[in-house]
A and B are shown apart, each in its own frame.
Chain A
């Protein structure tokens, strides 16, 4: 970027993968994430979604926030911060976590990588250095480093992803179990690969120093050429994660520290993430409030819905009766037509005491500038909409 660019201060940062990704962003469909220029989609959102479900595709996760938490007290500090028991996390394993305020409201969700007995990497969607620093109070030997710009990361997802990594020469990658971390020598440096992702399918995340980002991209795309490799953006990610039933900030939850209105944030129980809260471990942030909520039961519960018809119930209110006359019982947080499952799916916050009764969505949609309304019956689904066996199989199939 030229220094005499008068708009330099307002321009977005470019990911280390940008030189390659921008060539393939034929539609110039950019948005932003954490200050980075970020692809909404590259060629066609639905096509990219199908690459994730049918072949393989990469998602640039450089803008995702990455923190190293180091020192003798690192484990204890993280264990005090998040709701899950981190002491159970083995070396070279990854785990999904949430962390809460004292009131038990969700600050954010993310993943913790155990890189050494005294070294952890925490990744999350939004910046959280202030919360991390605050969480170190009382712990003597722990340091937190923001390494977001020091690591280039590419999420590589889809049924042919393992075959491509094998083709790329990552020997033994097929032995990686879900949430395993492996390391491979790469141009004199180390390529870290975790079997993780945000699509609910077979997939990996690749972690490399930014200086080798383009080498990684080139080798991956060269190996993946015959396996349908394609970059995907935010639009396809949002489709895949909704099918997998994963939550998104600003969709399913409003980060507690950014919430103005009383209880417009959420608790893990409301988000159906009670399984992440471990009361058997020592004290952690929000424990008392969450224990109370567990006894009382959450006011709302995030629920997977299968909705009749094909009109996505985006932003719909939910009612317990077909006429939508009685008080509303909840609202849809994310909704879409699922091309793979062939169902009209949604995640919705529904009053827990209304979950057993009928659920009806009032859906608005547009047709040639005219607005229409319909009421559709909703069925509660216990399992994720998309959860293929290959996502859990070790070794995974080649396609």
Chain B
């Protein structure tokens, strides 16, 4: 046991933990981050798993990163460049393709080719989504109010929410409430007739979530994925130059510059509580670190059921954490390729062939894939969202070679027959490769190396319970003032001096740095230190 007592220990060096560390250190606190892996980043990492190829082997694209934080922490100077990518192609079951061209005119003509009705309707759809997104985006860098509290700050924040809601107009308020609970498929039914267009628009509604396109609540997930922006281009997605690890490395560099200490290969065995107050951690190697406060970047379930003693928690918290909805549903297949794959029905040009690929199929196919997950299996015909970052980023593969990130929905955390085995994992990877091969004959021959990741692997390596990429599902019962639990949505946890800063807190999953920044602001407020966290910056204000 060392004599030194830090001001704060951050448990877990994910991007949110690093964000909290940076802002606490900026306020002059003595901060130490402890991370179990030899690298920082959690699920935002760049790893060279095959010589010459650098995979963003978990999260792979970025759109929610708060620009105000990027700017405030000067992350560009710390090495971060976000590059938007263009030209995603969606592949239908019947061999049809739908290309999302960056030019408005071209995109409209492409939609019109499938359905003049839908091409027209797309304008209304995008305006409606933009309006909903505008509302939720304004809450990202704010602490959710406690609706039962009479404290002036909570009342002020509630009024803020009310005012934002009111500004939608009466009819839209009804629509908005409906939107929070409806399924993505039902929501899209109001706008579109073409099945491929519907499927393409619905796909963001299932990414990372244990819901199907027809499950209530999936419409909100859709919004969660399109509310981000890159430089004001709402709904655009970007790649971090050097892979997603570049985001974490830049945040770590900023945190260090402000004086934070970051210890890797330092997993936490237990969060220590004394006299009802969090006071430090015991590392896996037995070392004990003391601090005035402890901030958990781990998910809510892991925090309260794995690294805390049940007896240190107030009654009911353990049960809440145990029942926290954090079902794993996504897999990832990272593939090193000897060359650029060609896709059937896609013009071989320098832009379109190089964007993202949505192996979407149809609403029916996506629902079938969800059915398989419910029964503890992977689908032989999964929904796969792919992108080839090496077409845009010269730093992640040798010239002329490529790597393809394939996000797979769905993949169960445990199989009906029992736990995952290496053989089952390979078979799952093969199902994904087989699906891509259908749209890109010869694809298999290009494969140089492949990494297959099931939810089980994500849990083992990253520490996400069940491999849930959002650190808890994004359904209304677990959003805003309900995240992670009602009554504990303001980053302060049921034990004094214990805070949470990960995606289990508002505003939830995604590489946004918002959870971490919000947590830092609350902590600084409790410590009566000046706030170092910037306000958010909006394009549509």
Interface residues of chain A, those whose CB is within 8 Å of chain B, are 27, 43-44, 46-47, 50, 53-55, 159-160, 163, 167, 225-228, 230, 309-310, 337, 339-343, 367, 398-399
Are the CB atoms of B84 and A160 closer together than 8 Å?
Answer: no
Which of A43, A50, A163, A341 lies in contact with B83, CB distance below 8 A? A50
B232 within 8 A of A: yes
Closest CB-CB distance, A25 to chain B, in whole Å? 13
CB distance from A308 to the nearest CB of B (A): 9
Which residues from A are CB-within-8-Å of B394?
54-55, 159-160, 163, 227-228, 398-399
Asked if residues A337 and B232 are in contact (CB atoms below 8 Å), the reply is yes
In the complex, are the beta carbons of B67 and A342 less than 8 A apart? yes
Bound complex: CA A47 to CA B350 (Å): 12
Interface pair B86/A227, CB less than 8 Å apart = no
16 residue pairs A–B, Cβ–Cβ below 8 Å: A44-B86, A46-B233, A47-B86, A53-B83, A54-B392, A55-B392, A55-B394, A159-B394, A167-B399, A225-B400, A309-B537, A310-B539, A337-B232, A339-B84, A342-B67, A367-B540
Among B44-52, B69-77, B283-291, the stretch in contact with A: B69-77
**Minimum-distance CB pairs A-B, first 9:** A226-B400, A226-B399, A399-B394, A339-B231, A342-B71, A342-B70, A160-B394, A341-B76, A54-B83
Let me know if B395 is at the binding interface, CB within 8 A: yes
B465 to chain A, nearest CB (A): 33
The 0/1 profile, CB within 8 Å of A marked 1, for residues 525-541 of chain B is 00000000000011110
Nearest A residue to B539 via CB reads A310
Contact residues in A for B75 (Cβ distance below 8 Å)? 342
**B102 engages A27 (CB within 8 Å):** no
Decide: A54 and B537 in contact? CB cutoff 8 A. Answer: no
Q: How far is the CA of A54 from the CA of B392 in the complex (A)?
A: 8
Chain B residue at minimum C-beta to C-beta distance from A163: B399
Complex contacts, A27 vs chain B, CB 8 Å? 103
- Residues of A contacting B391 with CB < 8 Å? 228
Contact (A54, B241) CB under 8 Å given A47-B102, A159-B394, A367-B540 = yes
Residues of A within 8 A of B232 (CB): 310, 337
Shortest CB–CB separation between residue A126 and chain B, in angstroms? 32
Instruction: List the B side residues contacting A310 at CB < 8 Å.
Output: 67, 232, 537-539
Distance A340 CA – B539 CA, assembled complex (angstroms) = 17
Render B74-112 as a binary contact track against A, CB cut-off 8 A, 1 for contact: 011000011110100000000000000011000000000
Secondary structure call for the B interface: loop
**For the complex, what is the distance from the CA of A337 to the CA of B232, rounded to whole Å?**
9
Residues from chain B with a CB closer than 8 A to the CB of A53 are 81, 83
Q: Of B71, B82, B102, which is in contact with the most chain A CB atoms at under 10 Å from its CB? A: B71
Shortest C-beta distance, B468 to chain A (Å), equals: 30
Specify which chain A residues have a CB less than 8 angstroms from the CB of B400 in the assembled complex: 225-226
Q: Say whether B393 faces chain A, with CB atoms less than 8 Å apart.
A: yes
CB-defined contacts of A228 to chain B, threshold 8 Å: 391-392, 394
A22, B136: Cα distance in complex, Å: 43
Q: Which residues of A contact B76 (CB under 8 A)?
A: 340-342
A286–B537 Cα distance when bound, in Å, is 47
Residue-wise, chain B 224-239 has the 8 Å CB interface mask toward A (1 for contact) of: 0000001111000000
A50 in contact with B84 given A44-B102, A44-B103, A340-B76 (CB within 8 Å): yes
Question: B352 to nearest A CB, angstroms?
Answer: 11
Interface size, chain B (Cβ < 8 Å): 30
Q: Give chain A residues whose Cβ lies under 8 Å from the Cβ of B241.
A: 54
- A47-B351 Cα distance, complex, nearest whole Å: 10
Given contacts A44-B102, A159-B394, A310-B232, 4 further A-B contacts (CB under 8 A): A44-B103, A47-B102, A227-B394, A310-B537
A167, A227, A399: residue with the most chain B Cβ atoms closer than 10 Å: A399
Q: Are B350 and A230 in contact, with the CB atoms below 8 A?
A: yes
Residues on A with C-beta less than 8 A from B231 are 46, 337, 339
The residue on A at minimum CB distance from B398 is: A226
Q: Which of A27, A53, A228, A367 has the most CB of B within 10 A?
A: A228
A398-B398 Cα distance, complex, nearest whole Å: 11
Closest to B77 in A: A341
* Complex Cα spacing A227 to B102, Å: 21
Contact flags (1/0) for B349-379 with A, using CB distance below 8 Å? Answer: 0110000000000000000000000000000
A343→B391 CA distance, assembly (Å): 26
A342 to B81, CA, bound (A): 9
Q: Is the CB of B399 within 8 A of A343?
A: no
Contact of A43 among B71, B351, B537 (CB under 8 A): B351
Contacts of B81 in A (CB 8 A): 53-54, 340
* Least CB distance, A111 to chain B, in whole angstroms: 28
Q: Tell me, rounded to whole Å, the shortest Cβ–Cβ distance linking B301 to chain A.
A: 34
Find out whether the CB atom of A343 lies under 8 angstroms from the CB atom of B71. yes
Residues of B within 8 A of A340 (CB): 76, 81
User: Which parts of B231-270 form the interface with A (CB within 8 Å)?
Assistant: 231-233, 241
**Complex CA distance for A203 and B81, rounded to whole angstroms:** 19
Residues of A within 8 A of B399 (CB): 163, 167, 226-227
Of all chain B residues, the one with the shortest Cβ separation from A385 is B76
**Which B residue's beta carbon lies closest to that of A223?**
B399
CA distance A55 to B67 in the complex (A): 23
B102 touches A399 (CB 8 A): no
CA distance in complex: A49, B102 (Å):
15
Query: When chains A and B are docked, how far (Å) is the Cα of A44 from the Cα of B351?
Result: 11
Bound-state Cα–Cα, A230 to B400, Å: 16
Shortest CB distance B88–A (Å): 14
**CA gap between A176 and B539 in the complex, in Å:** 43
- Residue ID in chain A nearest B105 by CB atoms: A27
Known: A54-B241, A310-B232, A337-B231. A399 touches B537 (CB 8 A): no
How many angstroms between the C-alpha atoms of A341 and B70 in the bound complex? 9
Give complex CA distance A159, B392 in Å.
13
When C-beta atoms are compared, the residue in chain A nearest to B399 turns out to be: A226
A46-B84 contact given A54-B393, A309-B537, A337-B232, CB 8 Å threshold: yes
In this complex, the member of A27, A50, A309, A340 whose beta carbon has the largest number of chain B beta carbons within 10 angstroms is A50
User: In the bound complex, how far is the Cα of B400 from the Cα of A178, in angstroms?
Assistant: 28
Nearest B-chain residue to A164, judged by Cβ: B399
Query: In the assembly, what is the distance between CA of A47 and CA of B103, in Å?
Result: 12
B168 to chain A, nearest CB (A): 15
